[in-house]
């Protein structure tokens, strides 16, 4: 069995940052990624623009040059891909980690392709694999998607967008601009306060002028082939409908964390237990990095503020001074 100092589960921006830092520190490592390089970013909407400016997404001070201040998805794919290839990072793609077993003085990492022996494991699996479902009749119909890709698909169609966060608002605006008839269904009383400050006025104006219809304090009750039924403060409403984009957020794979022995807080946040000074979990030698650290608080960590985890963890593994870590 191959033996490593550290195995990184997940090849997102933060898993890659961990791999690069391990390499810089002279540790033997491999990144195991179940999809392509930065799989989550690969599945973001094709025209997506980051809210962070490019330098805030940089790893290890390697310059990220983008056309505008805030890079687009394609530029981010290029950047992280080049980090992997230029630094010849050891990453095994399309290899899914199924389990991590603790054994004397280390771990056995079992994937769908191989088994590895390692002294330390970093879990950097993000939260983008599991959408929050609405749990309503008809949710399994093919007209419903939890991931938004390209507005062209929805042109000239009656589209219901469920949600009020950045993803939902971006999709609603973009699809409306490409000719979809868009209705927003929002559980709370307003468009989310975290919606990008330059996008919020746009959506508010579109709603006010009636270009995009919005139902507030409303929830989807049933989805059928040609319509959807929603509960609104004024009673039940049935809307003619071709497609539903349920952009209601995502959640980490808690079952995977529990299988690895990581304890979660006993409340709705389900915060995984770890020491913020080392990122080590309640399991010795098992670390967390990236957005997975936030449990259900998926907005708490992002690339900007979690890229530092890579240095914190390598310092902890090597027992180096944590004061040298900079964000």
Ligand X SMILES: Cc1cc2nc3c(=O)[nH]c(=O)nc-3n(C[C@H](O)[C@H](O)[C@H](O)COP(=O)(O)OP(=O)(O)OC[C@H]3O[C@@H](n4cnc5c(N)ncnc54)[C@H](O)[C@@H]3O)c2cc1C
User: Which residues are near ligand X by CB under 6 A?
Assistant: 9-15, 32-35, 39-40, 44, 48, 50-52, 96-97, 124-126, 128-129, 167, 290-291, 302-304
- Nearest approach in angstroms of CB 246 to ligand X is 14
- Nearest approach in angstroms of CB 234 to ligand X is 32
Cβ distance to ligand X smaller for residue 25 or 251? 251
- Which residues 6+ apart lie within 8 Å of 121 measured at CB? 6, 7, 8, 9, 100, 107, 109, 260, 285, 286, 287
Burial of 270 (0-12, 13-18, 19+ CB in 10 A): middle
Token couple for 246: 């349920």
- Which residues 6+ apart lie within 8 Å of 276 measured at CB? none
Cβ distance to ligand X smaller for residue 36 or 231? 36
- Nearest approach in angstroms of CB 301 to ligand X is 6
- Nearest approach in angstroms of CB 36 to ligand X is 8
- Nearest approach in angstroms of CB 28 to ligand X is 19
**SS in 3 state form for 248-278?**
CCEECCHHHHHHCCCCECCCCCCCECECCCC
- Nearest approach in angstroms of CB 221 to ligand X is 27
Cβ atoms within 10 A of the Cβ of 182, count? 24
Bridge pairing between strands 250-251 and 130-131: antiparallel
Cβ distance to ligand X smaller for residue 11 or 106? 11
Cβ distance to ligand X smaller for residue 184 or 279? 279
- Nearest approach in angstroms of CB 237 to ligand X is 29
Cβ distance to ligand X smaller for residue 154 or 301? 301
Q: Angle at the Cα of 286 (from 9 to 44), degrees rounded to 5?
A: 30
Cβ distance to ligand X smaller for residue 118 or 241? 118
Cβ distance to ligand X smaller for residue 11 or 138? 11
Residue 161, SS3 per DSSP: strand
- Nearest approach in angstroms of CB 227 to ligand X is 29
- Which residues 6+ apart lie within 8 Å of 197 measured at CB? none
Q: Give strand pairing partners of 112.
A: none
CB 33 within 8 A of CB 100: no
Q: Give strand pairing partners of 280.
A: 287
Cβ distance to ligand X smaller for residue 12 or 138? 12
Q: How far apart are CA 203 and CA 195, in angstroms?
A: 10
């Amino acid at each position: 069995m191959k033996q490593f100092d550290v195995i990184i589960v997940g090849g997102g921006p933060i898993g890659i940052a961990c791999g690069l830092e391990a390499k810089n520190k002279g540790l033997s490592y491999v990144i195991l990624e179940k999809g392509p390089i930065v799989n989550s970013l690969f599945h973001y909407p094709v025209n997506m623009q980051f809210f962070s400016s490019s330098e805030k997404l940089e790893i290890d001070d390697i310059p990220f040059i983008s056309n505008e201040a805030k890079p687009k998805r394609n530029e981010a794919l290029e950047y992280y891909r080049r980090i992997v290839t230029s630094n010849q990072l050891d990453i095994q793609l399309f290899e899914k980690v199924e389990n991590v077993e603790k054994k004397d003085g280390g771990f056995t990492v079992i994937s769908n392709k191989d088994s590895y022996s390692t002294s330390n494991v970093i879990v950097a699996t993000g939260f983008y694999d599991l959408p929050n479902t609405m749990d309503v009749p008809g949710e399994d119909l093919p007209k419903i998607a939890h991931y938004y890709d390209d507005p062209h698909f929805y042109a000239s169609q009656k589209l219901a967008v469920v949600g009020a966060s950045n993803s939902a608002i971006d999709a609603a605006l973009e699809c409306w601009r490409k000719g979809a008839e868009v209705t927003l269904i929002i559980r709370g009383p307003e468009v989310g306060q975290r919606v990008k400050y330059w996008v919020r006025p746009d959506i508010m104006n579109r709603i006010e002028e009636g270009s995009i219809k919005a139902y507030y304090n409303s929830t989807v009750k049933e989805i059928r082939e040609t319509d959807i039924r929603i509960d609104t403060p004024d009673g039940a409403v049935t809307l003619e409908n071709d497609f539903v984009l349920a952009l209601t957020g995502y959640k980490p794979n808690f079952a995977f964390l529990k299988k690895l022995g990581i304890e979660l807080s006993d409340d709705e946040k389900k915060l995984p237990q770890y020491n913020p000074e080392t990122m080590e979990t309640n399991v010795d030698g098992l670390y967390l990095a990236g957005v997975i650290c936030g449990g259900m608080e998926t907005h708490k960590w992002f690339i900007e503020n979690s890229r530092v985890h890579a240095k914190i963890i390598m310092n902890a593994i090597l027992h180096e001074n944590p004061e040298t870590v900079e964000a």
